[in-house]
Structures are given as C-alpha cells and as structure tokens.
Structure 1
Amino acid sequence: MISLLWGIVSLLWMVLALIPFLGWGNWFLIPFAAIGAIIGAIGMAVTSPGKRGRAKTGLLLNAVVIVVAIFRLSIGGGII
C-alpha cells in the first residue's frame, strides 16, 4: 500500500518535472522513486502470493517513473 501511494506521488511529481524549467526536479525524483521501488520489492517479498497486487503495482509505477525521469534528464540535463 505504501509503495502504491509513493508511486502516485512520484507520478504527480514527474508530471510537474516535465514542465520546462522544472526539469531539475528529476534529480530529486529518481532517488525518491527508487525508495518507493525498494519498498515495493520488500512488500512483494513479505506478502503472500495472492496479496501482492498493490506491491507489484507500486513497484512497476515507480519503475516507470524512474525510466521517464532518466529519459527526461538525458534530453534536457535537468535545466530545461
């Protein structure tokens, strides 16, 4: 549950960081989303197989945010 909420916050932050001149937010977003992905991985490891849906969704959402943020940094350098 925490990983899913963390992923939603990361996704909203990512949308803001896509705005020109707010790209510097990606430098803080990547570690933030990485922590959410770690929480999701821990959640998947400690829950029973039938109840891993939220942890898996949080892990995937944070992973997508990390990939998009890295791509955004590669094209704009975090300045633009």
Structure 2
Amino acid sequence: MLNLLSFLFGIISLIIVIPAQIPMLGWGNWFALPVIVVGILLGALSSKNAGRDFCLIVLFIASVRLLLGGGFF
C-alpha cells in the first residue's frame, strides 16, 4: 500500500515537474520537491522499491533542471 502511495506521489510530482522544464517556469520544481520527498519517505517505508525509485528519478530530473537554471529559471 505504501508503495502505491509513493508511486502516486511520484506521478503527481512528475505532473508538476514536466511543465517546469520550460524556460522561465523552473520555479515550479520548488513546489514539486516536497511532494517528491514525501514519496521517497513513503517508498522507504514500503517493502518494495519501485515507488521510491520512481520518486528518486523524478528528484534527479527536478534537481538537474534547478542546477541548470540557477535555482529559479
């Protein structure tokens, strides 16, 4: 059950992260980061790893975008 919730939080955060890849919308990644962290925590409490791994991939995408944009752009 926790794995499913983690996957759900990962999908919600991915929906936020995808439009944030557009220039000048990078600040949207800051809204996705807390959702991603909650998904990772739920995935860590689960007995399976799929949800946690998915959230880690989304975290990587959001982090790289924030790094390239200087944190805002």
**Over aligned residues, Cα RMSD in angstroms?**
1.2
* Deviation, structure 1 residue 32: 1.4
**Structure 1 outlier segments of 4+, above 4 Å:** none
TM-score, with structure 2 as normaliser: 0.84
26, 35, 38: which is aligned to 1:23? 26
Quote the residue 2:69 is aligned against.
76
13, 26, 50: which is aligned to 2:16? 13
TM-score, with structure 1 as normaliser: 0.78
8 A contact 1:25–1:78 mirrored in 2: no
Structure 2: runs of 5+ lacking an equivalent: none
Q: What is the number of equivalent residue pairs in this alignment?
A: 70
**Residue deviations 1:15-64 (CA, integer Å, cap 9, x gap):** 011111110011121221011000011122xxxxxxx3xxx221011101
Bigger radius of gyration among the two: 1
Identity of aligned residues (%): 40
Structure 1: runs of 5+ lacking an equivalent: 45-51
